[in-house]
Homo-oligomer: A and B are copies of this chain.
């Protein structure tokens, strides 16, 4: 991986002086256009060995570009807000919006490398992490981001020389500490670990660009040129974000494929025997008012105790509610929230994304609402919007919603890994029951806000929705985070089933 960066690349002073003004103008031009047209978010990762010139490179980028539309993301020890959420949360919070450039001084690569060197994780763990990273970056690129990953390399000799030079100059001696010399001793180990991780994560859509760090002029020019050419290429593309993924920035590679070519989903619409997880549901299931009253009180009491369980203080709960319009999500949620302390939970009604949310990957708006430890977030409609309403209404392309299955599974897996308990419900009602409820709503004052023209329109696509739901359940009901399908024609039955499922899951996860 690093061989080509030990061959003594260098650029003469005169060549540098000649190249920089043109490059700078091209960079500013490309950056201004990117910003004006809010085209893509751009992520530039600056990584590499200590003293290879990471700090200096960032400095040069600020000098050559308009610093007002750059931001540098550095990650120190996690804050308590960060510690209580999945590892990737801090990076999601730092993603630049469309049109802006985020320079990552430290990234999702830093921790795995550090831990592997210290022997805190195994080689297999590292490989699994690489796979996760590939999927994360593929998601970013498919969502329209431009991802440029630089590794600035310095041979061991060059690194030693650099430290000695710094130390001998009184102006810079403060920058060299015993920590630097100690790090130099682990040079080989770093080469092994980083080299391995870089190979596994060198993809066509988010390539690694290894740059020799010894000669400052070469290093700066090389990185500036790559950034400029990537930005200009992006500006020249007259395509939708989803298709941008097909255009590679540089270097071949790939152990995982980002979407390309025509969609392969027609098989989803094949009907072989007409049975489905939905048609197999018994919507006639009912609970009498009397039994309901008793069970509701019992289950709410049980939930209330579970939410105050000391073991829950180190966990969090993410509840996801999906269902057709008027399926009773709101009522079910109210029966849950009634058993909880209002200071402990937050209900997030999911409607159309805001302007800030539209400038980010589709999962971003859910990441920003994740609960801290000991807390609960209840989503009324969820990240499944992309494979339901967005799919059926054609708000995104076929390949967009198809890849969302994997992205969603990854998202939920990260939540579970971080100790969150994730429980998701689909509330199913029949078409007749929905019609009846729509008419009821029109009669009730405060409920008339809940029924709109759109609700009526959605009904017309009933079959398409049923198909989308079946596919969703099939592709995202995992062992860790299964779907619970709820027969919801009878509200009593549905609420009891939801509360019981929730209590059982909490018991199981806390036990």
- The answer to the question of A289 belonging to the interface, with a C-beta cut-off of 8 Å to chain B, is no
- The answer to the question of A13 belonging to the interface, with a C-beta cut-off of 8 Å to chain B, is no
What is the count of identical protomers in the complex? 2
Which residues of chain B are within 8 angstroms of A18 by Cβ–Cβ distance?
A: none
The stretch among A268-276, A343-351, A423-431 that forms the contact with chain B is: A343-351
Q: Which of B59, B79, B330, B356 contacts A66 (CB 8 A)?
A: B330
- Min Cβ gap A254→B in Å is 31
Which residues of chain B are within 8 angstroms of A334 by Cβ–Cβ distance?
A: 62-63, 67
Q: Which of B70, B341, B356, B449 contacts A33 (CB 8 A)?
A: B449
- Asked whether B446 lies within 8 Å of A32 as measured between CB atoms, the reply is yes
Which residues of chain B are within 8 angstroms of A380 by Cβ–Cβ distance?
A: 68
Which residues of chain B are within 8 angstroms of A432 by Cβ–Cβ distance?
A: none
- Asked whether B28 lies within 8 Å of A446 as measured between CB atoms, the reply is yes
Cβ contacts A24-52/B at 8 Å (1 or 0 each): 01001101110110000000000000000
- Min Cβ gap A356→B in Å is 5
- Asked whether B80 lies within 8 Å of A346 as measured between CB atoms, the reply is no
- The answer to the question of A338 belonging to the interface, with a C-beta cut-off of 8 Å to chain B, is yes
Q: Which of B32, B66, B446 contacts A29 (CB 8 A)?
A: B446
- Asked whether A58 lies within 8 Å of B330 as measured between CB atoms, the reply is no
- Asked whether B71 lies within 8 Å of A346 as measured between CB atoms, the reply is yes
Given A68-B380, A333-B67, A354-B355, A449 contacting B36 (CB threshold 8 A): yes
Alpha-carbon distance between A343 and B341 when the two chains are bound, in angstroms: 40
Given A58-B342, A105-B343, A342-B103, A449 contacting B32 (CB threshold 8 A): yes
- The answer to the question of A337 belonging to the interface, with a C-beta cut-off of 8 Å to chain B, is yes
- The answer to the question of A114 belonging to the interface, with a C-beta cut-off of 8 Å to chain B, is no
- The answer to the question of A442 belonging to the interface, with a C-beta cut-off of 8 Å to chain B, is no
Size of A's binding interface in residues, CB under 8 A: 45
Cβ contacts A348-365/B at 8 Å (1 or 0 each): 010000111000000000
- The answer to the question of A504 belonging to the interface, with a C-beta cut-off of 8 Å to chain B, is no
Which residues of chain B are within 8 angstroms of A33 by Cβ–Cβ distance?
A: 449
Most buried by B among A32, A33, A72, A446: A446
Given A354-B356, A446-B28, A67 contacting B341 (CB threshold 8 A): no
Which residues of chain B are within 8 angstroms of A71 by Cβ–Cβ distance?
A: 346-347
- Min Cβ gap A109→B in Å is 17
- Min Cβ gap A130→B in Å is 26
Which residues of chain B are within 8 angstroms of A74 by Cβ–Cβ distance?
A: 343
Which residues of chain B are within 8 angstroms of A330 by Cβ–Cβ distance?
A: 66, 68
- Asked whether B55 lies within 8 Å of A338 as measured between CB atoms, the reply is no
- Asked whether B70 lies within 8 Å of A347 as measured between CB atoms, the reply is yes
- The answer to the question of A252 belonging to the interface, with a C-beta cut-off of 8 Å to chain B, is no
- The answer to the question of A479 belonging to the interface, with a C-beta cut-off of 8 Å to chain B, is no
- Min Cβ gap A231→B in Å is 12
Alpha-carbon distance between A79 and B82 when the two chains are bound, in angstroms: 11
Which residues of chain B are within 8 angstroms of A105 by Cβ–Cβ distance?
A: 342-343
Alpha-carbon distance between A139 and B386 when the two chains are bound, in angstroms: 40
- The answer to the question of A266 belonging to the interface, with a C-beta cut-off of 8 Å to chain B, is no
Alpha-carbon distance between A503 and B450 when the two chains are bound, in angstroms: 58
- Asked whether B446 lies within 8 Å of A69 as measured between CB atoms, the reply is no
Within 8 A of B (CB), among A229-246: none
Within 8 A of B (CB), among A103-161: 103, 105
Given A29-B445, A32-B446, A62-B337, 20 further pairs, Cβ under 8 A: A28-B446, A35-B449, A36-B449, A55-B342, A58-B343, A62-B338, A67-B337, A67-B347, A69-B349, A70-B342, A71-B346, A72-B343, A79-B80, A80-B80, A80-B81, A105-B343, A354-B354, A354-B356, A355-B355, A355-B356
Nearest first, the 5 closest Cβ-Cβ pairs linking A and B are A74-B343, A28-B446, A72-B342, A32-B449, A355-B355
